[in-house]
Structure 1
Amino acid sequence: MIREQRLAEIFMEVADSLTDDFDVLDLLQRLSTRCVELLDVSAAGILLADAVGELQIVAASDEHTRLLELFALQHDQGPCVECYRSGNARTNIDLNSHGATASWPRFAARARETGYVATHAIPLRLRDRNIGALNLFQKTPHLLGESDIALAKALAGVATITILQQRTLEQSHIERTQLQTALNSRILVEQVKGILCERWSTSPDEAFSVFRGYARSHHLRLADFAAAIIDGTFDTATIPQPLPRS
């Protein structure tokens, strides 16, 4: 399927999300995986600022990327952090370059250990307002062209506008509450990933994929479903377990 058709589908997915029971966490997770599909990158992650302006990771296309983003936040360094603070995109960053190593020594080293050789950071920004960042990672050193960067900015714009224009976010204090809810929801999901990994003896990525697939097929909000598993009101034995790898 050509990229234009896939992009049209994504915008339809976003339009379908603009409802009263809008699940911002699921939308951002979808956008992170769609970035990988559309932009010929290896991984993507999305960061949002919490009520006091501190970045938190809310979506990632895989577990390795989530851990790398968490590492960047813990050490307060990396293009994603600078992108959020400045509101300016940083693209085609060679993680093996002297500049990257000098600017973000811990982040660059950890990213290379993960297998990434290039990265890009796109702000989630509307006019003079920054609410987070979209981060892209590559395991091959090819440059993203102008059209790819423009598309990445468009996807970041979709995420930003969807969050800020959602009807329940009209007042600023409600907006902060909703963003904080998304961050809190991610904590519940991470706890469930650990629970399912242990019960099924599988990887975090596979556990999350099965968990999310079940939630979507049964029209369950991710945070509500995670909370039910954690408090024991939902029996995980009813979820089809992932097939063991050969």
Structure 2
Amino acid sequence: MQNRERWVADTLVELADILAPALEPKSYWLCVANRYAELVGSSSIRLSAGPVVVHTDERLEKPPLAGILSEEGPGIDCHVDDKPVVDVLLDDAVTRWRRLAPAALSLGYRSAHAFPLSRREDVLGEVTILTSETAPVPVADLRLAVALADAATIGMLNHRAIAGLTRTSEQLQGALDSRVIIEQAKGLVSARLEIDPSDAFRVLRHYARANNRRLSELCELLVDRHMSASDLVGSVSHRAKRTGSRR
């Protein structure tokens, strides 16, 4: 790999850029998989993270490997044990992975590795690497592979947290805006029909239910003058009228 330091810097920045509102998990994980393919020579990558599965080589998606990697292999082992699986020669793994090893060998792969995408109690998935090389992965590259998995996991966890906070904020703001509109409409109906605010709220709620409308939608129509309080007169209860007459 040429300019290793530049590659590391660019990779870390790319994985940390999770604030884009339109960030797609599949695109993010494919980026991670491609980075592994650059790090480990002559390799094909399968990355599984929940419902998202991406590949850097179409051979992993077709027979004889199609389906096998989701049932056995280094990825499954590292997911279960939550620790990397490295430098496993496929010639020596026929007993360990009875289906995967022969299938991978038939396609020219010679060794396998896998790294968990996990952080403390959060386990997102795993990265499986099949390579045609038999030489052990250099220690420095193994450290980078682990760091890459950690950085990608942290990035995705942060994206999920930010997305969750954004949704909560939007929901709270929507509830607040709705409440303000309802209070405005309640005051308007109370003044125009000369009834108590509590009775005005009952009038609004009754009209909304009777006409299969959301209360906030009805109140918005009233506040924006697309409806008038007189349109609600037919739904005013006798009790509300009596209350108004005593004022």
TM-score above 0.5: yes
Larger Rg: 2
Change (3 A) 1:107 1:15: same
Following superposition, the deviation at residue 41 of structure 1 comes to: 4.0
The 8 Å contact of residues 163 and 169 in structure 1, kept in 2 or not, is answered as no
Following superposition, the deviation at residue 18 of structure 1 comes to: 2.6
The 8 Å contact of residues 17 and 23 in structure 1, kept in 2 or not, is answered as no
Change (3 A) 1:83 1:169: farther
Give the TM-score, by structure 1 length: 0.61
Change (3 A) 1:123 1:25: same
Change (3 A) 1:38 1:101: same
- Superposed CA offset, 1:39-69 (max 9, x none): 324211201234xxxxxx6111111133436
Alignment of 1:143 with 2:136, yes or no, is yes
Matching residue within 111, 123, 137 for 2:116: 123
Change (3 A) 1:40 1:170: farther
Q: Quote the Cα distance in structure 1 between the aligned partners of 2:165 and 2:132.
A: 40
Following superposition, the deviation at residue 136 of structure 1 comes to: 1.3
Following superposition, the deviation at residue 120 of structure 1 comes to: 0.3
Alignment of 1:62 with 2:57, yes or no, is yes
1:153 alignment counterpart: 146
The 8 Å contact of residues 44 and 61 in structure 1, kept in 2 or not, is answered as yes
Q: Quote the Cα distance in structure 2 between the aligned partners of 1:119 and 1:38.
A: 14
Secondary structure at the counterpart of residue 141 of structure 1: coil
Q: Quote the Cα distance in structure 1 between the aligned partners of 2:88 and 2:19.
A: 34
The 8 Å contact of residues 18 and 158 in structure 2, kept in 1 or not, is answered as no
Change (3 A) 1:66 1:157: farther
Aligned residues: 161
Q: Quote the Cα distance in structure 2 between the aligned partners of 1:93 and 1:17.
A: 33
Change (3 A) 1:151 1:10: same
Which stretches in structure 2 are left out of the alignment for 5+ residues?
A: 167-247
Following superposition, the deviation at residue 169 of structure 1 comes to: 4.5
Q: Which has the higher contact order (CA 8 A, sep 6+)?
A: 1
The 8 Å contact of residues 11 and 35 in structure 2, kept in 1 or not, is answered as yes
The 8 Å contact of residues 45 and 66 in structure 1, kept in 2 or not, is answered as no
Secondary structure at the counterpart of residue 67 of structure 2: helix
Which stretches in structure 1 are left out of the alignment for 5+ residues?
A: 51-56, 172-246
Matching residue within 64, 78, 81 for 1:83: 78
Q: Quote the Cα distance in structure 1 between the aligned partners of 2:102 and 2:84.
A: 21
* 1:26-45 alignment runs, 5 A limit: 26-45=27-46
1:227 alignment counterpart: none
Change (3 A) 1:112 1:128: same
The 8 Å contact of residues 72 and 107 in structure 1, kept in 2 or not, is answered as yes
The 8 Å contact of residues 41 and 136 in structure 1, kept in 2 or not, is answered as no
* 1:157-196 alignment runs, 5 A limit: 157-166=150-159, 167-169=162-164
Matching residue within 99, 104, 107 for 1:114: 107
% identical aligned pairs: 26
Change (3 A) 1:91 1:169: farther
Runs of at least 4 residues off by over 6 Å: none
Q: Quote the Cα distance in structure 2 between the aligned partners of 1:113 and 1:43.
A: 14
Change (3 A) 1:58 1:170: farther
Following superposition, the deviation at residue 129 of structure 1 comes to: 2.7
- Superposed CA offset, 1:119-177 (max 9, x none): 10100010133221011111021110211111111111122111111111569xxxxxx
Secondary structure at the counterpart of residue 103 of structure 1: coil
Q: Quote the Cα distance in structure 1 between the aligned partners of 2:147 and 2:98.
A: 30
Name the Cα RMSD after superposition: 1.9
The 8 Å contact of residues 121 and 136 in structure 1, kept in 2 or not, is answered as yes
Give the TM-score, by structure 2 length: 0.60
Instruction: Give the letter aligned to residue 75 of structure 2.
Output: C
Following superposition, the deviation at residue 24 of structure 1 comes to: 1.4
2:49 alignment counterpart: 48
